[in-house]
Amino acid sequence: MKNKSKRMDYPVLLVFVGAVVSAFGALWSSNKQGAESKELYRRLAEKSDTITGYAKKQEKASETNTKLYQQLAEKSDEIAEYAKKQEQASKNVSELQQMLLEKANFQLEKTEQIAKLNAELAESQKEIAKLSQDISYNVTGGNSFCYITLSSSASNKIRVEVFHQGKYPLSNVRMYITNQSAVQRLAGNDGAKTRIMGMFRRSSATQFTLNNLAPSNASVTIGELESSDAGWTINDSYFIEFIANNGSWEQQYQTANTSNSYKGIFVIRRNGATILER
């Protein structure tokens, strides 16, 4: 019986040993897994700290962004208000410019009207001055003058004809005709006598009084010269002096015989200047 009992305890022992080994293995495996879990937990804890730090940073950045957004919103309102003021200022400037432009156009229009009125006034003044001058010249004679021509008459005398030249009538016209050739003949070769007779030319001249002479293209016969007087002839050289209300002028007259006809050649001078030559 005892031997049998011993034989039976041996398998139990094996089972027991196996159980112990299994338990030890399980414990060892459990310890190993626990270590790995701890390592994993440690790593997770580190990651958690990192994530927590990142989250804090993100939260701080979000707060910063929120502040920036608020500041930007405030600035945006200020910018909008400034833009509004600028728009109003620009509108005011445009209105002022338009007003100034209208005033400038109005001033320009008035200036043009004034310039036109001044031009019309100047033109009127010119017309008035011209009319005044015409009135004055109609009284005095202006720059009008007259001259004579000589021709033989049927009675063997020298006919004197006068021509008016100019726009205005002549008044109080007196004319002195001197036969220069006759003076030369009387003086002979005596130069001193010739000069003395020239000085007293008007006293020896034939005088005609015309009074008033109106503008006309036609000649007026004012008288005749006796060709026998002092041996005067149509071919002699004559000096004529005119005096009127508008001054005096002189005519140098010479008759030329061309193709059996007589033609008067003369020069008229006023104040030393030639005003007519034919």
Give the CA angle between residues 121, 124, 125 to the nearest 5°: 85
What's the pLDDT score for residue 25?
Answer: 63
What CA–CA distance (Å, rounded) separates 100 from 177?
77
- For domain 142-277, the CATH architecture is Sandwich (2.60)
Asked if 261 contacts 142 with a C-beta cutoff of 8 angstroms, the reply is no
What CA–CA distance (Å, rounded) separates 76 from 173?
102
What's the pLDDT score for residue 224?
Answer: 83
What's the pLDDT score for residue 33?
Answer: 67
Mean pLDDT across 32-52: 73
Handedness of CA 55, 60, 65, 66 (dihedral sign): positive
What's the pLDDT score for residue 247?
Answer: 94
Over the stretch 137-168, which tens digit does the pLDDT of each residue have? 988 899 999 999 988 877 778 889 999 999 99
Confidence of residue 199 (pLDDT cuts 50, 70, 90): very low
What CA–CA distance (Å, rounded) separates 257 from 152?
12
189 has a pLDDT exceeding 80? no
Q: pLDDT exceeding 90 applies to what percent of the chain?
A: 26
Strands ordered across the beta sheet of 247-258: 206-213, 170-179, 237-244, 247-258, 261-270, 273-277
DSSP lists the bridge partners of residue 250 as 241, 269
In sequence order, the 6+-apart residues with CB closer than 8 A to the CB of 159 are 150, 151, 152, 153, 221, 224
Domain boundaries, the chain: 96-140, 142-277
Q: Is the pTM of this model over 0.75?
A: no
230 has a pLDDT exceeding 70? no
Average pLDDT of the chain to the nearest whole number: 80
In sequence order, the 6+-apart residues with CB closer than 8 A to the CB of 235 are 181, 255, 257, 262
What's the pLDDT score for residue 267?
Answer: 95
In sequence order, the 6+-apart residues with CB closer than 8 A to the CB of 84 are none
